[in-house]
Amino acid sequence: GEDVEQSLFLSVREGDSSVINCTYTDSSSTYLYWYKQEPGAGLQLLTYIFSNMDMKQDQRLTVLLNKKDKHLSLRIADTQTGDSAIYFCAESMAGKLIFGQGTTLQVKP
């Protein structure tokens, strides 16, 4: 079945690292994505990882992929108040995206 699961809420202090976790079901997904939605804004593609990679780093963002366990994580180093948003994990399946419920990240000053 199509199921992407994420924890719903994460609270961290400014300057700490944030780790948002996601599990997915389709082992044939070629790409996995992280999207960010700030209040009142659309979905912004943060990063994506190809399924034959274990890790991808882009400035403060690190994506880890454990294909065996179908587990994807997004680490944000030195989390800032501007990182407060909803983060969605998504997998590609037959040309469409299957999203999780989104993790609300709250960053406390």
Instruction: Write the CB contacts of 40 (distance below 8 Å, at least 6 apart in sequence).
Output: none
The length of the chain in residues reads 109
Question: Contact with another protein (CB under 8 A): which of 33, 49, 79, 107?
Answer: 33
Using the contact rule CB under 8 A, the part of the chain among 18-26, 36-44, 65-73, 75-83 near another protein is: 36-44
**Binding-site member from 13, 71, 96, 108 for another protein (CB under 8 A):** 96
- By DSSP bridging, strand 71-76 and strand 55-58 are unpaired
Q: How far is the CB of 73 from another protein (least distance, A)?
A: 18
Task: By CB under 8 A, name the one of 1, 28, 40, 82 that touches another protein.
Answer: 40
Is 61 near another protein (CB under 8 A)?
A: no
Question: Which residue in the set 18, 22, 100, 103 belongs to the binding site for another protein (CB under 8 A)?
Answer: 100
DSSP string over 47-79: EEEETT-SEEEETTEEEEEETTTTEEEEEESS-
